[in-house]
Chains A and B, each alone.
Chain A
Amino acid sequence: MVTQLHSSQSLRNRLAEFRLIPRVETCPKVVSFAQTSLGRITMLATFGLGLCYFVPNPFIAMFFTSILAFMTFMPEYRHFILAVTPIAIVILQSFKEPLLLGLNLAVMALGIVLYWCTRRWPESRFGQRPVAFLLTGFTALIVFACAATPRSLSYSILWDLVGFMTSYIWFIAYALIDRSSKPARDLTLELATFHPLWGSSTVPFPKGAAYLRRIEAQDPERLAIVQLKGLKLLAWAILLAVFQNLWYGFFHGYLRIPMPDQALAMSVRGTPVAWHLRWECQILAFFELILGFSVMGHRFISFCRMAGFNALRSTYRPLSATTIIEFFNRFYYYFKELLVDFFFYPTFLRYWKGHRRLRTVFATFAAVLVGDSFFHLTRDWQFIQRDGLWHAIMGYQASFVYNAALATGLSVSQLRKRGHRPTGFFRGRLLPTFGVCLFYTLVIVFGSEGRQFSVVQTLKYLASLFFIRW
């Protein structure tokens, strides 16, 4: 009996330890090899080959691999290369359009000037609340752009400026909150983070220059380990991307299950959609979100690691989350960090200090309802340009409900007492994970990116999942 227990325990341990991609970075021989010239070339060549999966042009993949090779063999120039290469790329891409190039470089310069101002006058009003000033200024710019006469020169300049500011705003914001960290000897890394070489969405991967300085590999052994982790992550990204293609091909191509927006549109038009089909496309949408964000995040972070920075993954085992807050943390880490850094902490540290629960809820709503809404409204500035500010806000109504529901779920999740979780596989693991997945599957009904459905239409669709019709 004891032997049986032991063998089942060891099987469980072995299963828990199993990795589809082995943990090569923990093997001393591999780490030693990765520090040799041959090892480095092998790693870089493998990474370059892997990169071709995502970068269809082999010359571009080769260019990025060469840049990585420079940084690997001459780490003392890493910051300089990271700062200069993206600017050179921007200049090469848009030198035929001097106005756009000028605006792009002007926004970068603005970021550096603002950063310098926070360092120079830390006690000023701006130095105390630089991000608040930045976001207020950005909002004012959007309002000015809305007020400009359509098709005039000022109109196109202002909207181009809004576009560039949107690309840089959160990168600049990270530079500004880095003011309280140890002063840097040079600003090259600050400049590098405004336009990361490894790519990024409007969310900074992985945060700002102060964070990069903390996670940078400082010796050849550490660099080898970090690069091996980068290589593994790229392999994982490719595997997931292949799986994603098969998934879409099977479910939406072969089985013809509609995308959630299509199902919602059909429902709004009065075209009957079978009950099970509505559920299927919602469940698929949940997994597709995870897959999409995983592939994107892994691509960026794998490159970042190859460049010598041991950044955490953006998506890390989200399906192992047993609480709503844990899933939020694991699903899209750097977006969550953005909301936490710029909205949650500033609110939490200032307001309702004597009321523990209230301050948590208040700060969570500030982060998710205000922060998330602001982020997405401004990110999709083309809607504002096309429809005007008021109509764009009205078009965002379903997303407001999404954010409110998410904020409520996250607040409840945080308020539930620590240490009183049920144990056992079913009650401690399976049931909570199912609950978390169900919550997000339902809440993403309101998260349509197309902005074409009202709250009432979306609510009706949600209710129809439970056979409720009105």
Chain B
Amino acid sequence: MKGKQEIHEFVQSLLTGNGDNGSLADDDSLLISGRLQSVDAVEIVVFLEENFGIDFAQIGFDRDQIDSIDAIYALVEAATNRN
């Protein structure tokens, strides 16, 4: 669960940076709910590329994949299993 904790902290830092100090559950919607914006989605993409070696150009990109901490973690797990 180390990866999940890392993801949680990173997303929390993005929310805090946007002045959103509300609670964050693992299944909370991030992008569709409007809590995070497309600029933040870019930050998440770079974070996943740098820390988990995910290449979105290969696997295809859909915002659903990064809309919650659970979704991001599922993506990381799938990428880890693929490698």
Contact B45 A349 (CB under 8 A): yes
Interface residues of A in 174-208 (CB under 8 A from B): 180-182
List chain A residues, Cβ under 8 A from B34: 312
Determine if A427 is an interface residue (Cβ-Cβ < 8 Å).
no
Contact B17 A350 (CB under 8 A): no
Listed stretches B4-12, B20-28, B36-44, B73-81; interface member: B36-44
For the complex formed, measure the closest distance between the CB of B10 and the CB atoms of chain A, giving whole angstroms.
12
Determine if A211 is an interface residue (Cβ-Cβ < 8 Å).
yes
List chain B residues, Cβ under 8 A from A214: 32, 64
Q: How far is the CA of A349 from the CA of B60 in the complex (A)?
A: 9
Determine if A325 is an interface residue (Cβ-Cβ < 8 Å).
yes
A180-B60, A180-B62, A349-B61 in contact; A329/B32 too (CB < 8 A)? no
Determine if A414 is an interface residue (Cβ-Cβ < 8 Å).
yes
Determine if A287 is an interface residue (Cβ-Cβ < 8 Å).
no
For the complex formed, measure the closest distance between the CB of B46 and the CB atoms of chain A, giving whole angstroms.
7
A214-B32, A329-B37 in contact; A348/B45 too (CB < 8 A)? yes
Listed stretches A228-236, A240-248, A337-345, A400-408; interface member: A337-345
Query: Which of B38, B60, B64 counts the most chain A CB atoms within 10 A?
Result: B38
For A360, give its contact among B42, B56, B57 (CB under 8 Å): B42
Determine if A336 is an interface residue (Cβ-Cβ < 8 Å).
yes
B67, closest chain A residue (CB): A214
Contact A344 B57 (CB under 8 A): no
Q: How far is the CA of A325 from the CA of B17 in the complex (A)?
A: 14
Contact B38 A337 (CB under 8 A): yes
CB-defined A-B contacts under 8 Å, sample of 21: A180-B60, A180-B62, A181-B62, A181-B64, A182-B64, A211-B32, A214-B32, A312-B34, A325-B39, A329-B37, A329-B38, A344-B38, A348-B42, A348-B45, A349-B45, A349-B56, A349-B57, A349-B61, A353-B49, A356-B46, A419-B17
- Binary CB contact string for chain A from 322 to 344 against chain B (1 if under 8 A, 0 otherwise): 00010001000000110010001
Majority secondary structure of chain A interface residues (helix, strand, loop or mixed): helix
For the complex formed, measure the closest distance between the CB of B40 and the CB atoms of chain A, giving whole angstroms.
10
Q: How far is the CA of A337 from the CA of B62 in the complex (A)?
A: 13
Contact B57 A329 (CB under 8 A): no
Determine if A276 is an interface residue (Cβ-Cβ < 8 Å).
no
Contact A418 B57 (CB under 8 A): no
List chain B residues, Cβ under 8 A from A418: 17
Count of residues in A whose CB is under 8 Å from the partner chain: 24
B: residues with CB less than 8 A from A are 17, 32, 34, 37-39, 42, 45-46, 49, 56-57, 60-62, 64
List chain A residues, Cβ under 8 A from B32: 211, 214-215
For the complex formed, measure the closest distance between the CB of B74 and the CB atoms of chain A, giving whole angstroms.
13
Q: How far is the CA of A329 from the CA of B62 in the complex (A)?
A: 19
For the complex formed, measure the closest distance between the CB of A229 and the CB atoms of chain B, giving whole angstroms.
13
The total number of A-B Cβ pairs within 8 Å is 35
- Binary CB contact string for chain A from 39 to 70 against chain B (1 if under 8 A, 0 otherwise): 00000000000000000000000000000000
A: residues with CB less than 8 A from B are 180-182, 210-211, 214-215, 312, 325, 329, 336-337, 340, 344-345, 348-350, 353, 356, 360, 414, 418-419
Q: How far is the CA of A180 from the CA of B37 in the complex (A)?
A: 20
For the complex formed, measure the closest distance between the CB of A322 and the CB atoms of chain B, giving whole angstroms.
10
A313, closest chain B residue (CB): B34
List chain B residues, Cβ under 8 A from A181: 62, 64
List chain A residues, Cβ under 8 A from B60: 180
Q: How far is the CA of A443 from the CA of B64 in the complex (A)?
A: 34
For the complex formed, measure the closest distance between the CB of B61 and the CB atoms of chain A, giving whole angstroms.
6
B17, closest chain A residue (CB): A418
List chain A residues, Cβ under 8 A from B49: 353
List chain A residues, Cβ under 8 A from B37: 329
The 8 closest A-B pairs by CB, nearest first: A180-B62, A340-B38, A349-B56, A349-B57, A312-B34, A350-B57, A180-B60, A418-B17
List chain B residues, Cβ under 8 A from A350: 57
List chain B residues, Cβ under 8 A from A356: 46
A339, closest chain B residue (CB): B38
For the complex formed, measure the closest distance between the CB of A183 and the CB atoms of chain B, giving whole angstroms.
13
Given contacts A329-B39, A360-B42, A419-B17, 18 further A-B contacts (CB under 8 A): A180-B60, A180-B62, A181-B64, A182-B64, A312-B34, A329-B37, A329-B38, A336-B38, A340-B38, A344-B38, A345-B61, A349-B56, A349-B57, A353-B49, A353-B57, A356-B46, A414-B39, A418-B17
For the complex formed, measure the closest distance between the CB of B14 and the CB atoms of chain A, giving whole angstroms.
9
For the complex formed, measure the closest distance between the CB of B73 and the CB atoms of chain A, giving whole angstroms.
18
For the complex formed, measure the closest distance between the CB of B27 and the CB atoms of chain A, giving whole angstroms.
14
Query: Which of B17, B37, B57 counts the most chain A CB atoms within 10 A?
Result: B37
A330, closest chain B residue (CB): B37
List chain A residues, Cβ under 8 A from B64: 181-182, 210, 214
Q: How far is the CA of A211 from the CA of B38 in the complex (A)?
A: 15
